[in-house]
Structure 1
Amino acid sequence: MTGEENEAVDEDKIVVGTIELALPCRHFLVEYKVAGSEKFSPTLEFLLRIIHSAPGIERGQVSAFFGYNDDEIAFVVNEATVHGFVSEADSRLNLTIAGRELFEKSIDGPRLFSVRKKIDKVSFDLLSISPTSQKNLRVKSLPELPISNEAASKGVAQEIQVNSLRRFFGELGLSRSREGEVPATLYSVDNVRAENRFQESIPISLVASISSPSIVTADLSEWRADHEIADRLEIEREVSKFVDTLKTLSRTGDGDEAYDILSEIFPDYLDRFSTRRGLNVERFWREVAGQDPSPRVNRKTVPVVGSLFTKKNSRAIGQVIEYGARNFNRTLKRERLVL
């Protein structure tokens, strides 16, 4: 159980309980290639731009335009020809095929594309094959969500190699670039090797509708944002199946017996909800579910809905204990004064 459920729930909704489940996950070692584009030095970029704008321009014209001396223009032209982007004939400069492609592949100017090999360790859950992270479980031995069709590690690795790594490339942080580069793009996935397994805990709020309290659904908003949950529908389905297993049918007479006990313990409080036929359960539920269960000096009895471990109810219990301790200390001081 956890008391950290999300309180940003619809006005017609109320949290009646919280649970945690374990999500099976695994680390994977991936070998892949990325394509990056490095920015040119300003001098080389300016040279390529002016040749692109004025094909066949003479070396001397370029030197005069930028104010280069003989050594400087020789250095810049040599850098361009060594990369194979510029050709020179009779002191006239032209872009090669490779040089023209630099402008065709980029709308904001010439860039140099390169492919690099990389190896990284990434983590995926074994249900939706989506990125996850290893965190210490707050509670050990949590119920684990089952893996659909008992997906083997080899099958998961293949799915990562074919689809998931490309799909979540940015989310995994693998597109990070070095200084002077634009973010890299995935060029190919060469190998994926499964490593050790671990579990991620999923905090779940059990939410009921005030208008239909018997319908309880799972809320995963504390675990992940809505757009991330949309990428993990397999997990959402398994959580819903598990919540369904927690539902029980009430036995005949259970309700009457419970209401009788409440009326006996809190006769004054429940008097306004009582009729000749007994407790008006529907009216009692609507008022209890819609109010803030915060005890005050003039309101020492407050009802709570759902598990005592929900955040709202835990806070109310803490306030009751605080009020009790405060009153106890006052009484103790008075007794000491009397003595």
Structure 2
Amino acid sequence: MMEFVINEATYSLPCRSFIIDYAVSERRKLAVVKEFAIRLLYSLKGITPEKIAGYFGFTADEMQVVLASLQEEKLIKWDDGNVELTSYAYDRFEEVDGKAEPRFFEVEDKMDSVTFDLLSFRLIAESSSGSVSPNNMEIPLPKDAMASLTEKAKAAFDQQFNVFIEKAKGIDTYTESVELYKINQVYNRNDRLLPVSVKYVVTAESCNSPEIRYADEWMEEWDEDRSLFSAISTQTESVGHKQNCLDLTSLEEYVSFTHDPIILDFYRDQEVDFYAALKAYEANKGLFELETRMLVGGIHLGRNSDLIRSLLDYKFGDEAKIPGKGILWSVDPSDKVWGRGPELEAFIQTLEQRLDERRKPVGTILSVSVQSNEEAFKTREMYGITKCKFQGLNKQIVNGQVEILLIPEVLVACTFHFPIENHYPLSLPIGFVTTVESRVKYIEENLVAVFNNPANTNSHFERINVEEDDMVLNSRVKKLFR
């Protein structure tokens, strides 16, 4: 059964580190002579020093050294010339396999830096594979999350001490007995963000019920009550506008603009048969023609990214430079969990590295519908890490469910983002990628017409007082098509 990653996103979970001053009690072994002396006294209750010396073959001086050491540790006391165990020493004996065994502990002060997440105050003892980035989606906290933090940290450290010992300190509690004796003091240290990377996965059988998976396996057990999953769902549902049903007009506009050669094969009774589409991909690995392949999921994600690279290798040679002047990417990320992770930046870098410097490439231009400078600022803040240039649109090219990535004269990738009922804001992108010149040229001409019409573009992304020739539209977008 083939799995399809339809989207990936990295969330930022607010955390705080604390310095915790605490004491532990650790089981320790007595010296052999001391332990056997204690065992003897436990069996006989009271005995003279001479009899102990005779039992072990000690001289009077040797016996005196042993007894002095035992008395210093408050393990023995004297009663009319006899040596007896103290109540403290008696209490250290435990029944083990029918025999009384002495168990002694020593208290040691320690100080460590400990980190808890601020959502559920769970201990963060392992590292995350994700990275902190401005385009991560921050997970909201409850209103009282920042109240009484040191008290919460103290209680959480007490409750999760065994996890701390095993995960953070690497101590096997089955072979070494370490117990929290007391917490002396807790100090605030600093705030940090934990990157939480998730994948949204479907199969042909579950195409309407995407599964969320953590990229880091340890988080599956760590988030055992699924409180983080709930917070992620709450965060994503607060973005954009909901659209649960397929808009057939939007699909028709997509097909008209892109001439998608694949999607209509699965259009039946005014609906798209997603099961049939994914099964077809599974059967032929997405192959439609030698230079045209089916896409399922985000254009920039793993399998699709590899496919685009392999098409470029086939057309122009392995890792060879390509003749395109740059990349134009039209997408509406406003109501989708789109590009919110390191995958987007990595994909763009991979493509830009193949542009031939001799053609003075203009890089990657992200064309997005924005209605104000404020909206443009927020978009740039989310995706600025990619080092893309941004071109404002008055309305999204074709419509908000269409995504198009074009390298003029080289390659085009198009997907239609089908809404998944009751799983907003996730969408199921299905489309195609091709290096067939006629297919690339058809979409390229449609895009040229869009950007040549002044009614379609705006300057909300531009700096104040920028010269018209230096605007992204004139200095980069239109140069792509020359």
Q: Normalized against structure 2, the TM-score is what?
A: 0.54
Q: Is the 8 A contact 1:161 1:190 kept in 2?
A: no
Say whether 1:14 aligns with 2:4.
Answer: yes
Q: What one-letter code is carried by the residue in structure 1 that aligns with 2:222?
A: E
Name whichever structure is richer in strand by fraction: 2
SS at match of 1:149: coil
Partner of 2:141: 147
Q: Is the 8 A contact 1:40 1:111 kept in 2?
A: no
Partner of 1:167: 159
Say whether 1:324 aligns with 2:345.
Answer: no
Q: Is the 8 A contact 2:3 2:201 kept in 1?
A: yes
SS at match of 2:216: coil
Partner of 2:17: 27
Q: What one-letter code is carried by the residue in structure 2 that aligns with 1:120?
A: D
Structure 2 counterparts to residues 1-339 of structure 1, below 5 A: 11=1, 14-89=4-79, 92-104=82-94, 109-132=101-124, 137-152=131-146, 154-162=147-155, 164-173=156-165, 182-222=176-216, 224-230=218-224, 233-245=226-238, 248-249=243-244, 250-258=246-254, 264-266=259-261, 273=265, 281-282=273-274, 284-288=276-280, 290-291=282-283, 293=285, 301-326=292-317
Q: Is the 8 A contact 1:37 1:182 kept in 2?
A: yes
SS at match of 1:215: coil
Q: Structure 2 regions of 5+ residues with no counterpart?
A: 321-482
SS at match of 2:52: helix
Q: Return the offset for 1:110.
A: 2.3
Q: Return the offset for 1:24.
A: 1.0
Q: Distance in 1 between matches of 2:227 and 2:269?
A: 48
Moved more, 191-200 or 83-92: 83-92
Deviations 1:227-275 (A, max 9, x none): 21115x332211122343566444332234445667x453xx789x479
Deviations 1:164-216 (A, max 9, x none): 11122133337778xxx944312333433323212111101112353342333
Q: Distance in 1 between matches of 2:4 and 2:27?
A: 52
Q: Is the 8 A contact 1:12 1:211 kept in 2?
A: no
Aligned residues: 308
Q: Return the offset for 1:303.
A: 1.9
Q: What one-letter code is carried by the residue in structure 1 that aligns with 2:297?
A: G
Q: Return the offset for 1:73.
A: 2.5
Relative contact order (C-alpha < 8 Å, sep 6+): which is higher?
A: 1
Q: Normalized against structure 1, the TM-score is what?
A: 0.74
SS at match of 1:185: strand
Deviations 1:294-331 (A, max 9, x none): 779x96544221112332322333333333344898xx
Q: Structure 1 regions of 5+ residues with no counterpart?
A: 1-10, 330-339
Q: Is the 8 A contact 2:287 2:294 kept in 1?
A: no
Change (3 A) 1:105 1:324: farther
Q: Is the 8 A contact 1:16 1:208 kept in 2?
A: yes
Partner of 1:6: none
Q: Is the 8 A contact 2:248 2:270 kept in 1?
A: no
Q: Return the offset for 1:113.
A: 3.1
Change (3 A) 1:91 1:315: farther
Deviations 1:266-295 (A, max 9, x none): 3xx789x47997997346423145357477
Q: CA RMSD in A?
A: 3.8
Deviations 1:55-100 (A, max 9, x none): 2344344334433333322222221122221234566432121221
Q: Is the 8 A contact 1:59 1:93 kept in 2?
A: yes
SS at match of 1:109: strand
Q: What one-letter code is carried by the residue in structure 1 that aligns with 2:250?
A: D
Q: Distance in 1 between matches of 2:100 and 2:296?
A: 60
SS at match of 1:121: strand
Percentage identity across paired residues of the two chains? 19
Q: Distance in 1 between matches of 2:210 and 2:170?
A: 42
Q: Return the offset for 1:143.
A: 2.2
Change (3 A) 1:176 1:225: closer
Q: Is the 8 A contact 1:175 1:184 kept in 2?
A: no
SS at match of 1:25: strand
